[in-house]
């Protein structure tokens, strides 16, 4: 089993009420689909291999807002773990996910 990280980066307009509603719906989808906020407008989730990545990419595409910019990137768990913190530290939520992963492995 090769764990992967799906990273979603987005910039959505929030000037009008419909734009704000679309942002809120997208945000709620990310949370309900197991994504964790890495930083503002950057969310990540763990998947089980490339099949899991494809499954969650399809779900993501089905829930995209009509405006703005949404990008997705996939990295292995090992690549994700090698990320450097130049300023700041992992959030409490990130530490919780990391400790849960140790139980799985």
**pLDDT by residue for the chain (105 residues), tens digit each?**
689 999 999 999 999 999 999 999 999 999 999 999 998 999 999 999 999 999 999 999 999 999 999 999 999 999 998 888 888 887 777 766 655 555 445
Set out the domains of the chain in order of their start, with CATH numbers: 3-104 (3.30.70.240)
pLDDT the model gives residue 51 = 94
Rounded to two decimals, what is the model's pTM? 0.84
- DSSP string over 8-46: EEEE---SSHHHHHHHHHHHHHHHHTT-EEEETTEEEEE
Owner of token pair 């989730």: 45
């Amino acid at each position: 089993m090769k764990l992967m990280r799906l990273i979603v980066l987005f910039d959505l307009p929030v000037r009008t009420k419909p734009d704000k509603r679309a942002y809120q719906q997208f945000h709620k989808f990310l949370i309900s689909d197991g994504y964790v906020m890495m930083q503002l407008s950057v969310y990540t989730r763990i998947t089980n291999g490339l099949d899991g990545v494809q499954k969650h990419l399809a779900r993501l595409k089905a829930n995209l807002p009509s405006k703005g910019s949404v990008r997705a990137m996939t990295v292995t768990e090992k690549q994700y773990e090698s990320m450097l913190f130049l300023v700041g530290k992992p959030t409490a939520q990130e530490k919780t996910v990391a400790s849960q992963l140790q139980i799985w492995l």
